[in-house]
Chain A
């Protein structure tokens, strides 16, 4: 038993952290809210250049041939930065699906030359489908790789996180002849778990970001002649958020190892991770807003960019209740109600 990352894994994480600190500050996230695509200028290419987007693909398909354990730390950083890109759909779900199927576009996806997004059965709306070259659509017979033009995209309202461009996919319109199958049932189940795991990693990063922002603010903001961070009520709000983060993160890392190792407990481990990570991010958002007070409630202040991403991702790829129900079926048997 050794529950730690290698120096190489941490160094890769640090390089991505540095890139995102420089290339994806709050102003870039804010710009994505008003840009046509909802995406950033240039971060995608940087991530492609570093190998992040093809991390899970074998070297023969233009990837790095690394594992979910390497990827989980990096996705956590994309959450910390609230990176407005379909990085989970692309790097955690799409690239390994295309690579394992030997799809023609696998290499172009691994390098980031094209963008791939997903419409799996239980993930919720599809993000950034209008900007993708391929949408991986799950139907009863498997996951199909379809061109966006062929899948009847319908834009969905106004997402609470203004950088997310959300669509529903007309699954019935995806003809098997037009869109080759890249995964059958088992592959689709693994793909879903990778999406839920990647989203859990981002939620953990978001929780950490909101705690960091709020600790910083409560040291600077003075009321009654002292920093508000010296007041016990404020301390305890943030301590609770920190505890939730502390006990979500090992479940996320554990789930990454389980996915990489192909352990049979995968659905339960992924669900425990997503449930706890969703709750941790929602609690961090709630406490962060309360500790900021009115400034945090202001649209001009950056906190809401991270808070709204947390709300969005807490519900995506199965919310906490959905994942607890899946754990429940595994440990308690079928739910009679």
Chain B
């Protein structure tokens, strides 16, 4: 056990910190409106040009071949510097790990560089009106087209984050109507400008057009855009769920930065606040540290070749509920001022409230923990 950073890791941190402090944009609007999204793309392309967009990817795809530990360091520095949420994250953190694991070399060469450069913008097409927590209940279907060599897709996806601003969708479609539930699904990649696709943006809780419905009406997708094996989409998709629930999408750096902001807010407002809030601020600080050290432990295990798997559900419940608690504490410190909707904390609270819902609700995560971490019976 050595809980110091190596000289190489420290040098990497210094390099991240210097570049980020000089370049992180100030005062960007929300990336979940059409205008804001465009401004965020400028930032994403600047990150790419300086090779900071996808630090953990190989150099041939625009990355730095950073180790998982270095990637965590980058994330800490990114959020410490006040970097905005990554509007490209669903491609980079959810689709890309699947492309690396299941994609052919041709697919990797075609998809990854354009994703890293924010030329292709990816949204996740999983949820449907009747398939949320019960994801295996997907009804959108793909019908075989042997003549053209591909699949014809029909159905509806919804609650698709930033779908109205993206260019491509990765999704699950039922390609074997006879198969039960999570069998018979295929993981497919769909350009949103293909004939037969209709995208309609709609407001999230905060009113921004951050959600979309995607309607597919006999949309042709060639075999080249099948990721992994036909009818094996469920297991292909599960590779991204553990990425989504675990550390790649929501690394500790983000929550350490929020805890640090909460400590600052306490310094400004604590003198006149309910003393119980002091304890809540301390709890937030401790919990962010707990997440940080749990992650370093997990990454060491991954580096040693262990598979973390279902344990990512422990992480997802912890960070999402920590995020809500931190924002609730901040709103209590703000008192009546919290009502102003341009307070970063009030907007942040609305975003934090999505955490226990997306990427598998926390109720589903608790089932996974009980059944797959603790070994309790399914039925």
Contact = CB atoms under 8 A, between A and B. Distances in A.
Interface stretch (A91-99, A152-160, A193-201, A239-247): A239-247
Contacts of B304: 4
Nearest to B72: A1
A235 B289 contact: no
Q: For B263, B270, B279, B367, which residue has the most chain A Cβ atoms within 10 angstroms? A: B279
30 contacts: A1-B2, A1-B3, A1-B69, A3-B296, A3-B297, A3-B300, A4-B304, A69-B1, A229-B376, A229-B377, A230-B379, A235-B376, A236-B367, A239-B317, A239-B366, A240-B366, A242-B314, A247-B318, A249-B294, A253-B1, A272-B286, A325-B282, A327-B282, A328-B282, A331-B282, A331-B285, A332-B263, A332-B266, A332-B270, A335-B278
B114 to A, nearest CB: 33
B275 interface: yes
A6 B375 CA distance: 27
Contact of A276 (B290, B374, B375): B290
A308 B299 CA distance: 35
Contacts of A232: 363, 366-367
Interface string B354-379: 00000000010111011101111111
B267 interface: yes
Identify the interface centre among B6, B270, B281, B289: most chain A CB within 10 Å of its CB: B289
A261 B285 CA distance: 23
Chain B, interface residues (CB within 8 Å), range? 35 or more
Interface string A216-235: 00110000001101101011
B376 A215 contact: yes
B317 A248 contact: no
A212 B19 CA distance: 48
A261 B300 CA distance: 19
Given A218-B376, A226-B379, A242-B374, A336 B293 contact: no
Interface string B1-12: 111111001000
Contacts of B4: 1
B300 to A, nearest CB: 5
B187 interface: no
Interface of A: 1-6, 69, 211, 215, 218-219, 226-227, 229-230, 232, 234-236, 238-240, 242-243, 246-251, 253-254, 257-258, 261, 272, 275-276, 321, 324-325, 327-328, 331-332, 335-337
Contacts of B366: 232, 235-236, 239-240
B33 to A, nearest CB: 35
Interface of B: 1-6, 9, 69, 263, 266-267, 270-271, 275, 278-279, 281-283, 285-287, 289-291, 293-294, 296-297, 299-301, 304, 311, 314, 317-318, 363, 365-367, 369-371, 373-379
A252 to B, nearest CB: 10
A275 B294 CA distance: 16
A67 B299 CA distance: 24
Given A236-B363, A258-B3, 4 more contacts: A211-B374, A236-B366, A240-B366, A332-B282
A226 B290 CA distance: 37
A247 B378 contact: no
Contacts of A5: 1
B293 A230 contact: no
Contacts of A328: 278-279, 281-282
A238 B377 contact: no
Contacts of B293: 3, 250-251, 253-254
B289 A253 contact: no
Contact of B317 (A234, A243, A251, A327): A243
Main secondary structure on chain B at its contact with chain A? Answer: helix
A242 B373 contact: yes
Contacts of B289: 251, 272
Nearest to B267: A332
Given A226-B379, A239-B366, A276-B290, A246 B1 contact: no
A230 to B, nearest CB: 4
A235 B371 contact: yes
Contacts of B291: 247
Contacts of B278: 328, 332, 335, 337
A324 B282 contact: yes
A253 B4 CA distance: 14
Given A4-B300, A324-B279, A332-B267, A227 B285 contact: no
A276 B369 CA distance: 20
A3 B293 CA distance: 8
Nearest to A250: B293
B129 to A, nearest CB: 24
Contacts of A331: 263, 282, 285
| Most chain A CB inside 10 Å of its own CB: which residue of B3, B271, B294, B369 | B3
A236 B373 CA distance: 12
Contacts of B317: 239, 243
B370 A247 contact: no
A229 B371 CA distance: 9
Contact of B294 (A2, A246, A324): A246
Contact of A238 (B6, B294, B301, B370): B370
Nearest to A229: B376
B2 A272 contact: no
Q: Name the residue among A5, A230, A335 with the largest chain B CB count within 10 angstroms.
A: A230
Of A3, A6, A232, chain B has the most CB atoms within 10 Å of the CB of: A3
A250 B294 contact: yes
A232 B303 CA distance: 34
A236 B368 CA distance: 10
Q: Which of B2, B366, B378 counts the most chain A CB atoms within 10 A?
A: B366
Contact of A3 (B1, B6, B377): B1
A226 B279 CA distance: 43
Contacts of B294: 246-247, 249-250
Given A219-B377, A236-B363, A2 B1 contact: yes
Nearest to B281: A332
A40 to B, nearest CB: 30
